[in-house]
Amino acid sequence: MLWIHWWNLVLELRSACSRTRTFLWLTVALAGMTVRRDMAGVTSVIRSLGLGASCYKRLLDFFHSDALDIERLTARFRELVFAVHPGILRINGRVVAVVDGLKVAKSGRKMPGVKPLHQSSGSNTKPEFIRGHSCQAIAILTRCLSTVVALPLVARIHEGVVFSNFDRSTLLDRALTLLESLRLPGPLYLVADAYYAAGKIVRGLLERGDHLVTRVKSNAVAWFPAPPPDPGAPKKRGRKPKYGAKVNVRSLLDGAFPLCRAKSPVYGERDVEIEFVVADLLWRVAGVLVRFVAVRHPHRGRILLMSSDLSLTPLQIIEIYGMRFKIELSFKQSLRTIGAYVYHFWMLEMDPLKRRDGDQYLHRKPRPYRDAVRRKLAAYHRHIQLGIVAHGLLDILAALHPSLVFASFGSWLRTIRPGIAPSELVTATALGNTLPEFLADRRQHCIFKNFLRDNIDLDRAEGTRLVA
């Protein structure tokens, strides 16, 4: 039954493909990403489903083919999520979206977009400097039982290749463009880290009726609104002052403002008391009045938060930003469980990159060369987006059928806690364990099942196990 539910969800993506055979290869890619146990690119998809050797070339052609419209696939997946997921998180009637960057290590000298990157993360598992692809991703927060999950919707490579020397767009511009392309229903709160605390983001969101909740850097400054003019004072020439006294935001906790205490609303914390100060100040980089919240946590130290929505209470701002880390967990699942970023597509005719080469400027290259680079980047984006779709399908199944997932898990967990939703790994394992039963059941007609049976290689152990 779990695979039948999965197949019914995948059927909603049919309109993203121009032909039925393209849709079948899309389904093969989604199923292979879901049940594979290793991260060896397209090879692991072939191995996990026990397919014949000829399918390897067909899958490579599928990722490079225009028959799969990547923008239509993204739109159909977004519609599917909002139509069937029972736990879209909303605060004040607004969807909560999270944006963040992801740097994926790639050492290929003939891979467009690969460049030296700096990682500022404090994790000791990440080197400070790598070569790879710089992506930006957007996810929405969903609730499954008592668990909050960041369900990814889209990710794109946003650095490394410059097709026009007149292009002056920054990563912030591309993040706003990516958000607009999603066309999320209704207004939203966008949660981001300090990199996105910029006037360009605030103004872009306010034009759309959305708001930003973010952390600001420790050296952030703001201004009080200018006091009203004295009615008895003589009038001066020029416009009226807008900005009053200057304030260092980190000084809000120094005692000049009233200190409030409350129980921490941060996700997963209990019996923790925090101290905070709230002040509505003018932020010059955005030119509007925003709400700053300076928080002192007994274990995590100080943090400075900002919201462009003045109707949010300080505790709501702290609660919303406290769920930003969920997109980091989403990246972990996409990398290690799904393998959305483990593509290995080379461009043979590309000029090999040197170790210290940065962005690749292609405005002087001939048109066939630029078109070949665009085709290769489109293949990367199809692989990433299909991995995101496979990831999202696991989250939807875990939200709709948690009991069925655990019943089909067929393995051992040290603790299965009531009220905690199954993870992506548990759901993927359940699908992998029940795939042979799904293929053997002839009571349910399914074109994907027949297509898979026709391409299984019975001379290999994986194919024999699936049809045994």
Domain definitions of the chain by residue range: 2-193+326-467, 195-223+240-321
Chain segment 380-400, per-residue pLDDT in tens: 999 999 999 999 999 999 999
Q: How confident is the model at residue 468 (pLDDT cuts 50, 70, 90)?
A: low
**Tokens 């040197």 belong to which residue?**
354
Which of 252-256, 260-264, 341-345 is least confident?
252-256
Whether residue 284 contacts residue 241, with contact meaning beta carbons closer than 8 Å, is answered with: no
Contacts 24+ apart (CB under 8 A), 31-37: 31/435, 31/448, 31/452, 33/338, 33/339, 33/340, 33/386, 33/387, 33/390, 34/6, 34/338, 34/390, 34/393, 34/394, 34/428, 34/431, 34/432, 35/428, 35/431, 35/432, 35/435, 36/339, 37/432
111 and 104 Cβ atoms separated by less than 8 Å = no
Are 247 and 263 spatial neighbours (Cβ–Cβ below 8 Å)?
no
Q: Which residues contact 407 (CB under 8 A, 6 or more apart)?
A: none
Taking the C-alpha atoms of residue 196 and residue 462, their distance in angstroms, rounded to an integer, is 46
Whose structure tokens read 């706003």? 176
| Segment 11-26 mean pLDDT | 94
CA dist list (Å): 111 to 105, 108, 157, 345, 377: 12, 5, 12, 7, 9
**What is the DSSP pairing of strand 243-248 with strand 147-157?**
unpaired
- Tell me the average pLDDT of the chain: 92
CB atoms closer than 10 angstroms to residue 48? 21
- Within 8 A by CB and 6+ apart from 62, the residues are 22, 25, 26, 29, 68
Q: Give the CA distances from residue 136 to residues 108, 117, 197, in Å, rounded to whole numbers and listed in that order.
A: 20, 14, 15
Q: Are 397 and 6 spatial neighbours (Cβ–Cβ below 8 Å)?
A: yes
Question: At residue 230, does pLDDT exceed 80?
Answer: no
Q: What is the mean pLDDT of residues 242-258?
A: 88
Phi/psi of residue 243, each to 5°? -105, 140
Structure confidence by residue, pLDDT tens digits, 98-115 = 999 999 999 889 999 999
pLDDT in tens, 132-166: 999 999 999 999 888 899 999 999 999 999 998 88
Q: Is residue 421 pLDDT above 90, yes or no?
A: no
Residue 13 corresponds to which amino acid? L
The better pLDDT of the pair 232, 144 is held by 144
| CA 373/CA 349 separation, integer angstroms | 10
Q: Is the pLDDT of residue 232 over 80?
A: no
pLDDT grade for 419, boundaries at 50, 70 and 90: confident
Q: What is the pLDDT of residues 198-208, one digit of tens each?
A: 999 999 999 99
Q: Average pLDDT for residues 301-320, to the nearest whole number?
A: 95
CA pair distance 279, 282, nearest whole angstrom: 10
Would you say residue 37 has pLDDT above 70? yes
Which residue(s) pair with 51 in the sheet? 456
pLDDT at 122: 62
Taking only the tens place, the pLDDT of each residue in 260-307 is: 999 999 988 888 999 999 999 999 988 899 999 999 999 889 999 999
242: confidence class by pLDDT, cuts 50, 70, 90:
confident
